[in-house]
Amino acid sequence: MAMILSRLSLHGEVRAGRNVQARWICNHPMETGFRVDDSGQKIQRNIITQVEFKLNGEVILLITPGTGWSSPVYVNWEFTVPPQGGTLSVHWQDDHGEKGQVQHRLVLL
């Protein structure tokens, strides 16, 4: 399978105790398994089945999506910046066992 790109970005001032908006976008095909190709053959399902959002290694948000997500996958949420800063990461897995992750270091202002 081709490499699936994803990006994690932060919006707002990264200061201890402040809420910051995080945005994750992933270029996964998110094939539902409901469509057929030009020859009439059913296209095999391949969706992201689990996404973990971690702050300093601790899961802060866990999503088990279904076939309702379209491509590209986009998630937008807020979290509170810890006093020590750290790392925000996203880990995902799909139906075919493909996995990916992206992380963003929290550099305090």
Provide the token pair at 68.
């309702």
Output the pLDDT for position 100: 96
pLDDT < 50 regions, the chain: none
CB 51 within 8 A of CB 75: yes
Domain boundaries, the chain: 6-106
Q: Which of 50, 106, 52, 109 is nearest to 80 (CA)?
A: 106
Sorted by sequence, the CB contacts under 8 Å of residue 40 that are 6+ apart come out as none
The pTM of the whole model exceeds 0.85: yes
* CATH no. for 6-106: 2.60.40.10
Q: What pLDDT, on the 0 to 100 scale, is given for residue 2?
A: 66
The answer to whether the CB of 73 falls within 8 A of the CB of 25 is yes
The overall average pLDDT reported for the chain is 95
Residue type, 101: Q
